Structure 1
Amino acid sequence: MSKLTSKSPPIKRPQSLSHNLIGAIAVSAIALVTAEADAQSLVTTPDVIGQNVTSVSQLSDVRPTDWAFTALQSLVERYGCIAGYPDRTFRGNQATSRYEFAAGLNACLDKINEIISAGLADKVSKEDLATLQKLQEEFAAELATLRGRVDALDAKTAKLEAQQFSTTTKLSGQVIVSASASGSGNDFLVDPLGGNPVAGRANTTMISRVRLNFNTSFTGEDLLLTRLEVGNTGTNLSNSLDGGIFAGFAGFNGSSKFDYSGVGATASINRLRYDFPVGRDARVSIGTAMSLNDHLDANSFANDESADFGIGMFINNPLILPVNDGAGAAIDWNLGGGAFSLRAGYVAQNASSPTADTTAPNGTINRGLFGDTYQGTVELEFAPKNAEDEAPFAIKLQYTRASVNNLDYNMGGVNLEWAVNKAIALFGRYGFGNISNRGTAIAAALPAYTSATSDSLNPQTWSAGLAFPDLFKEGAMAAIAVGQPFVENKVGNATQTNVELFYRFPISDNISITPDLQFIFNPNNNSSNGTITVGTLRTVFSF
């Protein structure tokens, strides 16, 4: 007995496609041809297609109105040849169109052809062959249209396969462009620890940063992140403060400048790490270029320089993340899938240096993966979920042990956020601890700081703010925050205070514009320095 044939050639399917996609193409013909009948395409995806049913009557929108239904029903029940959706419908409330019916008929033709090709022709009765022949004649036009559409889809799929970048890697990117104007009441800003004064007036500047992320997954649950970063080295007046009192203390260097400023004009690897699950509730990350703020000290309203605040002290706690970047590892463990999560991270900035630094002013610095400069942090979060499976309240308790230039850091911290309702949220951070030079004056480690005669400091840092999600438009957000990056009465005659407010307005899913205003009072912990005002218009493109 020969194979069944029809007036149109058999449907060709590309062999290199995944099994799920092959199933999707074959079955989604039902949805594709519906567009011919009602001018509205049905959307089908591999995760909802391909569950076989054994009766046409199980497909609730197929009605037994004529002989063709009864005939196809009999074939389906004997050969199991129609695939439908889990909700047992063809995704619509209309009666089955002739095109949809032809798709079901085509599936039975393919199924019986497979049986005959396997040498099991005796399993197909002559009556069934006669029924199929009659159905083919009745629906010849629809079958021809169906196969033409699927052949066109096959051609488009083959073209996509030939031109695709990678089967495992997706490219995403972000571009930040901002115009920044800043100024102070002083011609020069004084450093109370003896550093050189810096200019107190600045011209308008343009700052840009570009990031390209190559997101690679091998299993669907893991992630190899490779990020390239480049900028125009643009800065503003607030960057100068981090060359003053904050420059010598890890974490505070960058607490006042924009987090996206100062990026070099030569492309470099900003992230290179591999994330993978361990068990059901834990995830581990390891890498040669990591940032702990990807894993620790997160806050829904103050954590992303592209979406909310721009300056470092509102992005992260400078005491909890004094080192932040380097080679290392991190783990995130949601205990039993409940309200508590335990996280830990470790990075070393000089992991690629096998030899010690004997030229350091504070004695020999032992570098490498477990040498100076390093940081280890643990964090315990409590974030109970409500009936909507959301966590409007979260509190994180943190501890950091670090060593930078042979200075020992022992720090504690708290990170809090509370979405009071859909329109308003509270957030804040607090850090405290000790920076010690192991019995020797701080100035021995930082020669420019000639007035730092104490062998240890006990700095504090804090920030608090209000956020207004979806203000005037869904996806928008306004917020204001105030904080002090370095509270220590041994440093300066006052305490620097930062205030920042912004409004992020989404133009589209891929473009947002953010006016931002920043005030810095008592810059460099010195009351003789005039208030610095920084105005910025930030535009972010994402793709």
Structure 2
Amino acid sequence: MKLFQQLLVAPAALGLLAPVAANAAELNINGVSDYAASGEQVTSITQFSDVYPTDWAYQALSNLIERYGCVAGYPNGTYRGQRAMTRFEAAALLNACLDRVTEVTDELKRLMKEFERELAILKGRVDGLEAKVGELEATQFSTTTKLKGKTTFVTGAVNAGGNNGSEYVYRNRNYKFNGKTGTASVKRYTDKGKTYKNSKSYSSNGFKGGANAYNANYGAFTFNYDQRLAFNTSFTGKDKLYARLRAGNFTKGKNAFGGAGVNLTALDIATDSGASGTINNAVQLDRLYYKFPVGKEFTVIAGALARNTEALAMWPSVYNKGAIKILDWTGLMGTSGVYNKETGQLIGAYWKQNTKKGANAFSVSVNYVADDGNGNITNPNDGGFMTDNSEASFLAQIGYGGPEWGLAFAYRYGQCDSGNGLRRGTTFAKFDGKWNNDCYQQQYNAAGLTGGSLFSDVEDNNGYAVRSGGSTNSYALNAYWQPKNAGWIPSFSVGWAINQNTTNDKLPGSPVTSQSWMVGMKWDDVFLKGNDFGFAFGQPTFATQLEDCTGKFDGFCSDTPFDGNYVFEWYYNFQVTDNIAVTPAIFYMSRPMGQNTRNLVQNGQGYDGQFNLWGGLIQTTFKF
């Protein structure tokens, strides 16, 4: 290289060598070694006087000290964390920490080698346990039984107003309104070779029937209770074996809240666990059934003591769903001819569309129930399961809905049940003694009229019971809607039903078709969160078509129904705690006897006669 070129390169070379020389001057390698050797080893970050929790690397420094013990300070107890660190110092610190990690690793390797056999055995056992746990989680469920209880106290009374008069219903049946005995003039009418009896005893003093008679028999203030203990058992986590014990003192035939006198005053909660109305407070089993899923959408249910209304995929009402219920009729959405709470030996199934939680879904439900007094009898002439004398109900429902709105159509076939099968209605339409649909109609020898029963229906020369062929076909439409949020706008639940009665040799003037309807409104979170106010009104089952009786019964029979009636219900549910609720309620019934009301005035016809009921109660519920 020429001298001139060398002179040009020299400054650049000096520039490159200068930093190295400077760093070498600043860093004394021997000094680093001296620092490492003379550093004070610490076991806690608190030993440094110049390190504070507010320092940004406080936690990192603490971890290095406590986990690895590879950080040293200066002899004067300082760390000098703000001082610049050279690369050699960083290498020294990192090396010290790695040495500590290596020591720990070597110790672990030694222990692993020493216990290699034991670790292999343990690993095999853990793998086996994991496999078994996985199998158990997939297929096993611990059998669990949960106890739930509900105690209800009811205090209140019912009072009647209106006309007083006839003790007996004066139409095609001899029916005693208030359960008393008495004399009656008997008139016999012949139709199609059969002799029918009618009776009427009109009392002018007003104590044989009507308002005075009702109050004398059912007007007292009472204190009643209902106690339920339910056992819910699951074997798989998805099925349920349900058994319920129940006791109550709504004495049959003697308590208005149990439906005595006028069946419409019966409360949903009312039960009598006594025997024939003479003994109270006996504990009885009133539910026993088992249900299980089949796939994701089907459920099968079977029970020795189950109810048709409790074997449905959906309940098409929000009026008192999951809340307090007062009258039995309003609790059945006003369509008791279909949803009649038939209880007995049951088999059923339902399908519900598998959708996201909270979404609307289609559902189909079917069930068959033999009446509890018939389905367990081995004599097919008296009862049995799926026989001509089971007095059974077949219920089918198709519905669509979700939390906000829904609707359903239902059909029920009732075998031999035109009276009790309709469950709730006017005295005339429901007729506790049943108009036409007993499985058998009793027939009597005409020669034995004098000694015959005053309350027999049909008398002829046969002298034996003949099959009635009686049944009912009932149809119902129900719908509901509720707002997303509680406020001034209530939820609405509506229901309408029609019942058609079929039987051989219908009694002239007896109900052939009946209907019912109801509107229920409920306001949530009234005054306080969790408190509800409910109001419902409608017409319980009332006759809309009667069997033709033109020219029969000497003009005392009419095939024009005068069975109109109304029911109103108000309640306020005060939720004291999550487990205690106090519910005052009142109800009013106009003409609950229906067409029979005209018997309260002498020679009454059409809508003659007045009879109404007011009821007031306080229902206190305890859940546990």
Relative to the length of structure 1, the TM-score reads: 0.61
Equivalent in the alignment of 2:397: 379
1:388-407 per-residue CA deviation (whole Å, 9 max, x = no partner) reads xxx31100011111202332
1:533 aligns with 2:607: no
Q: 2-side partners of 1:398 and 1:190: how far apart?
A: 36
Q: 2-side partners of 1:378 and 1:123: how far apart?
A: 59
Equivalent in the alignment of 2:151: 175
Q: 1-side partners of 2:121 and 2:410: how far apart?
A: 73
Equivalent in the alignment of 1:474: 529
1:271 aligns with 2:287: yes
How many residues are treated as equivalent by the alignment? 367
Shift of 1:285: 1.3
Q: 2-side partners of 1:397 and 1:212: how far apart?
A: 33
Q: Percent same amino acid at aligned positions?
A: 22
For the 8 Å contact 2:143–2:235, the answer to whether it is kept is no
1:524 aligns with 2:593: yes
1:352 aligns with 2:376: yes
Q: 2-side partners of 1:476 and 1:460: how far apart?
A: 33
Pair 278,533 (structure 1): closer, same or farther in 2 beyond 3 Å: same
1:515 aligns with 2:584: yes
Equivalent in the alignment of 1:419: 482
Q: Which of 240, 256, 263 is the matching residue for 1:237?
A: 256
Shift of 1:302: 3.5
Shift of 1:65: 6.9
Shift of 1:203: 0.6
Equivalent in the alignment of 1:503: 572
Pair 190,465 (structure 1): closer, same or farther in 2 beyond 3 Å: farther
Give the secondary structure class of the aligned counterpart of 2:118. Answer: coil
1:224 aligns with 2:238: no
For the 8 Å contact 2:325–2:331, the answer to whether it is kept is no
Shift of 1:487: 2.0
1:281 aligns with 2:297: yes
Shift of 1:339: 2.2
**Rg larger for:** 2
| Greater RCO, 1 or 2 (C-alpha within 8 Å, sep 6+) | 2
For the 8 Å contact 1:332–1:341, the answer to whether it is kept is yes
1:207 aligns with 2:224: yes
Shift of 1:69: 11
Shift of 1:71: 5.4
Query: Structure 2 matches for 1:418-497, cutoff 5 A?
Result: 418-422=481-485, 423=487, 424-437=490-503, 439-441=504-506, 452-454=507-509, 457-489=512-544, 490=546, 493-497=562-566
1:119 aligns with 2:115: no
Pair 499,352 (structure 1): closer, same or farther in 2 beyond 3 Å: same
What residue ranges of structure 2 are gaps of 5+ in the alignment?
1-58, 69-107, 124-141, 179-212, 274-280, 417-437, 440-469, 547-559, 598-606
Corresponding letter in the other structure for 1:534: G
Q: 2-side partners of 1:308 and 1:348: how far apart?
A: 26
Query: Structure 2 matches for 1:184-203, cutoff 5 A?
Result: 184-186=160-162, 191=169, 193=171, 194-198=174-178, 199-201=213-215, 202-203=219-220
1:344-395 per-residue CA deviation (whole Å, 9 max, x = no partner) reads 11111122111134xxxxxxx5533444211111111111x5xxxxx31100
1:285-326 per-residue CA deviation (whole Å, 9 max, x = no partner) reads 111111111134724434569613333344342110346211
1:329 aligns with 2:347: yes
For the 8 Å contact 1:227–1:269, the answer to whether it is kept is yes
When structure 1 is superposed on structure 2, of 505-514 and 254-263 the one drifting more is 254-263
Pair 367,65 (structure 1): closer, same or farther in 2 beyond 3 Å: farther
Q: 1-side partners of 2:369 and 2:617: how far apart?
A: 33
Q: 2-side partners of 1:356 and 1:221: how far apart?
A: 37
Corresponding letter in the other structure for 2:473: N
Corresponding letter in the other structure for 1:412: Y
Q: 2-side partners of 1:117 and 1:513: how far apart?
A: 70
Pair 355,392 (structure 1): closer, same or farther in 2 beyond 3 Å: same
Q: 1-side partners of 2:397 and 2:405: how far apart?
A: 16
Q: 1-side partners of 2:539 and 2:61: how far apart?
A: 77
Q: 2-side partners of 1:177 and 1:168: how far apart?
A: 30
1:43-73 per-residue CA deviation (whole Å, 9 max, x = no partner) reads xxxxxxxxxxxxxxxxxxxx8674389959x
Q: 2-side partners of 1:313 and 1:400: how far apart?
A: 19
1:301 aligns with 2:382: no
Equivalent in the alignment of 2:97: none
For the 8 Å contact 1:192–1:492, the answer to whether it is kept is no
Give the secondary structure class of the aligned counterpart of 1:352. Answer: coil
For the 8 Å contact 1:314–1:463, the answer to whether it is kept is no
Equivalent in the alignment of 1:257: 266
Q: 1-side partners of 2:393 and 2:120: how far apart?
A: 71
1:453-494 per-residue CA deviation (whole Å, 9 max, x = no partner) reads 257611111111211012122222111111211221448633
Pair 502,299 (structure 1): closer, same or farther in 2 beyond 3 Å: farther
For the 8 Å contact 2:319–2:491, the answer to whether it is kept is no
1:192-221 per-residue CA deviation (whole Å, 9 max, x = no partner) reads 654112232111011210000011011111
Q: 2-side partners of 1:123 and 1:410: how far apart?
A: 70
Relative to the length of structure 2, the TM-score reads: 0.54
What residue ranges of structure 1 are gaps of 5+ in the alignment?
1-62, 73-108, 125-165, 245-253, 358-364, 386-390, 442-451
Equivalent in the alignment of 2:337: 319
For the 8 Å contact 2:367–2:396, the answer to whether it is kept is yes
Query: Structure 2 matches for 1:42-191, cutoff 5 A?
Result: 66-67=62-63, 119-120=118-119, 168-186=144-162, 191=169
Equivalent in the alignment of 2:139: none
User: Aligned-pair RMSD on alpha carbons?
Assistant: 3.3
Give the secondary structure class of the aligned counterpart of 2:593. Answer: helix
Corresponding letter in the other structure for 2:512: L
Q: Following superposition, which runs of at least 4 residues in structure 1 exceed 6 angstroms of deviation?
A: 121-124
Corresponding letter in the other structure for 1:530: F
For the 8 Å contact 1:375–1:400, the answer to whether it is kept is yes
Q: 2-side partners of 1:536 and 1:327: how far apart?
A: 34
Corresponding letter in the other structure for 1:352: N
Give the secondary structure class of the aligned counterpart of 2:336. Answer: coil
Pair 456,481 (structure 1): closer, same or farther in 2 beyond 3 Å: closer
Pair 285,117 (structure 1): closer, same or farther in 2 beyond 3 Å: farther
Q: 2-side partners of 1:456 and 1:185: how far apart?
A: 26
For the 8 Å contact 1:323–1:375, the answer to whether it is kept is no
Give the secondary structure class of the aligned counterpart of 1:230. Answer: strand
Pair 237,256 (structure 1): closer, same or farther in 2 beyond 3 Å: closer
